[in-house]
Structure 1
Amino acid sequence: MAKKKSDGEESWGKLIRDILVILLLVLGIHSCVAKPFYIPSDSMMPTLRNGDRLIVSKYPYGWSYASVSFHLAPKIDGRLFGRLPERGDIVVLEHPDTRIDYIKRVIGLPGDTIALRNGALFINGKPVKRTVQPALTIPADPNLPGPDSSLFRFVTRDASGREVLELPIVRETLPGGATFDTIDMGRGYATDDYGPVKVPADHLFLMGDNRDGSADSRVSAERKGLGGPVPFDAIAGRAEIISFSTNGTTEWYNPLSWLRGLRSGRAGTDLRPARDSSASRE
C-alpha cells in the first residue's frame, strides 16, 4: 500500500512545481516576446548611450537559436517565420563566434555591395546621403563616455563649467529612407576605408552609429568585431524603446540613488529610425 505524502511534502512539491512554471514562463517571454537589454558601451552613440536600458522584441524577424535567452540553445541553422530586417533597424545579435550579445544597426541586406571611402558609405555603388549637423552637446557623467571609449577627446566644459561632450554629427539616409545620426570623428581611422564587399544570401551587414568607435562588420573577429557580414540566424531581436537610463551614480544598496541616477528625457525614446518619404526606394 502506497504511503500517503505528508502535508509538508505536498507543500514543498507544489512550491518547486510553481517555481519551475514561473521560470519557464519567464524564459518563454524572454525568448519569444521581448527582453530587457543594457547598453555597456558608446559604439551606438549618439542614438544609444552607455547606461541605457532597452526593450528588445523577439518576434519581428521570426525565431532562431539566437532568440533563446541566456544563450541556452545550440547553434542550429534555420529560422522559424523568418522575415528580413529593414535597413536602419537596430538589432541585437549573438556574435557568430563568441556568442556574446552585440547591438548594431542594419546597413546592408543580402545581395547589397557595401563599401566605405574616406568614411563615406556606399551601398550598391551609390553614395549614401550624408548631411553635416550642428555639434551635439551631451552632459558627461560617470557612464559617459563609457569604458575604453573613443569619445574622450570630445569632452570639454560649457559656459557654466559643467563637463560635456561636443560631438560631430553626420545624418545619414539609407536607401529606403531610414534616417539617423552618426558620429564622424574625421579621417584617418582604420574603418574609414572598407570593401567593396557583397553581402551573401541570408546575411546582414551591421555597423555602429559611432562610426569610428564600433567593432562591427568592418572589423575582424580578432579585434572583437563581427568579421564581415553576419548570418541572419544570429539576429536575436529588434530594439524598440528605451525604458530608462542611468548615469553611473546608482548604488544597488541605496534606493535613493536610483532616482538621482536616472537620466531625464531618455525613457520612452522610440528606437525605430525616422523614414524620409522623399528618399528613393529600391
Structure 2
Amino acid sequence: MNFALILFVLVVVTGVAWVADKLVFLPKRRRAAEAAVAEFDRQQARIGERFADENAAQTRARLRDDKLRQPWWLEYSASFFPVILVVFVVRSFVVEPFKIPSGSMVPTLLVGDFILVNKFEYGIRLPITNTKITQGRQPSRGDVVVFRYPKDESVDYIKRVIGLPGDVVEYQDKKLTVNGKPVPETPLPDYLDEERLGYAKQFVQDISGHKNAILNNPAVPPFIVGAEDFPYRDNCTYNARGVICKVPPGNYFMMGDNRDNSADSRYWGFVPDGNIVGRAFFIWMNFSDLRRVGSFK
C-alpha cells in the first residue's frame, strides 16, 4: 500500500471540499443565516412588543448557528484539510516515521524501534514520484539511510552507506576495505543476540570518521550464498572469500550492521540515488524499552 499516494489523494479531496466550502457553500450558508434572522425580526415586529420573544438575542444566535453549520459530509472533509495538509507536508518534505521490522541493523537499531528520517538533507523530493527538486548533500559513508528496495520499490529498507559512486568495496574474509583502505575495527564485548539466542562478536568500525557498532559471527563462512542478478552485477566479483564491487555512478553500496543477518548490497546489488528516501537520525519510541529513545550513530 502506497501511503504517500493515499495521503496525497486525501489532501486533494479534502482540499477541493475546503475551497468549495469557502467559495460556494459558506457564502450560501451566510445568506441563509441572514435571511433567517431577518425573517425572525419581521415576525417580531408584526406581533408587537407585548408578545415579542424575551430571548430574541439568543434565538437570533441559534438561528444563525443552525444555518451556518456545515453538513456532515463537508465537516468530515473540509474540516480535516488543514490537518491532513500539515501531515502531508511534514511527512513528504521534513521528517517521516518508520518502524524497524528486522534485526539487520542490530546493534544500532533493534526490532520495534520507531525512527525518524530526515527528508530534506539529501535534497527535497516530490512525494509519490520521488523526483529530486533540490540538490542537498550526497549521502556519506556511515550514514544510516532509508531507501526503496530496488527489487520491490513498494518496500522500504534501512541500511548503512558503505560505498559511494566510484568506490571499490571489498568484503573479504569478513573484513571491510574501501578503496584499498581497511576499515578499522575495535573489539567490544560479545553481544547477546536475543533474536538468535546466541552471542556474536561485536566491533566498533570507523568508516570515514563515522563510528558505529557492528556484529560478526566467526562461525558463518565469508562467501556470499544466494547472490541475485541485478543491474551492474558485472561490477562485482564473488569468490570464496566474499565479494568485491565497484560502485557504479549514481548508486550506493549498502550493508547492515548485523553483518551475518542482513540481506543487503552483497546479495541484491546497488541502490540508485533515485531510491533514496532520507537519513535516519532519531529513535522516537520503542514500546519494549523506553531507554532506546534518542539519537544514534
Q: Same fold (TM over 0.5)?
A: yes
Partner of 2:203: 170
1:1-282 paired onto structure 2 within 5 Å: 4=28, 7=67, 10-12=70-72, 13-64=74-125, 68=127, 73-74=128-129, 76=131, 78=132, 80-99=134-153, 100-137=155-192, 140=194, 145=195, 151-152=196-197, 154=198, 166-174=199-207, 176-186=208-218, 187-191=220-224, 193-219=241-267, 227-246=268-287, 262-268=288-294, 270-271=295-296, 273=297
Cα distance in structure 2, aligned partners of 1:59 and 1:193: 39
User: How far did residue 104 of structure 1 move?
Assistant: 0.4
What secondary structure sits across from 2:289 in the alignment? coil
Stretches of structure 2 lacking an aligned partner (at least 5 in a row)? 1-24, 33-66, 225-239
Aligned partner letter, 2:212: F
TM-fit CA distance, 1:32: 0.5
CA deviations over 1:6-39 (Å, ceiling 9, x no partner): 7377444354212133222211111100121111
> Which of 1 and 2 has higher RCO (CA within 8 Å, sep 6+)?
1
The 1:28/1:75 distance shift into structure 2, 3 A limit, reads closer
Q: Give the greater-gyration-radius structure (CA).
A: 2
Structure 1 length as normaliser, TM-score?
0.70
Q: CA deviation at 1:193?
A: 4.0
Whole-angstrom distance in 1 between the partners of 2:121 and 2:112 = 25
**Shift, 1:130, TM fit:** 1.7
Q: Report the TM-score, using the length of structure 2 for normalisation.
A: 0.67
Q: Distance in 1 between the 2:135 and 2:75 partners?
A: 36
Does the aligned pair in 2 maintain the 1:64–1:234 contact within 8 Å?
no
Residue 280 of structure 1: aligned partner:
none
CA distance in 2, matches of 1:10, 1:137: 59
- Tell which deviates more after alignment, 23-32 or 193-202: 193-202
Instruction: Output the CA distance in 2 between the equivalents of 1:83 and 1:52.
Output: 26
CA distance in 2, matches of 1:44, 1:125: 25
Residues 192-227 of structure 1: per-residue CA shift (max 9 Å, x gap): 8443211111211110000011011111xxxxxxx2
Question: Structure 1, unaligned stretches of length 5 or more?
Answer: 146-150, 155-165, 220-226, 247-261, 274-282
CA RMSD in angstroms comes to: 2.4
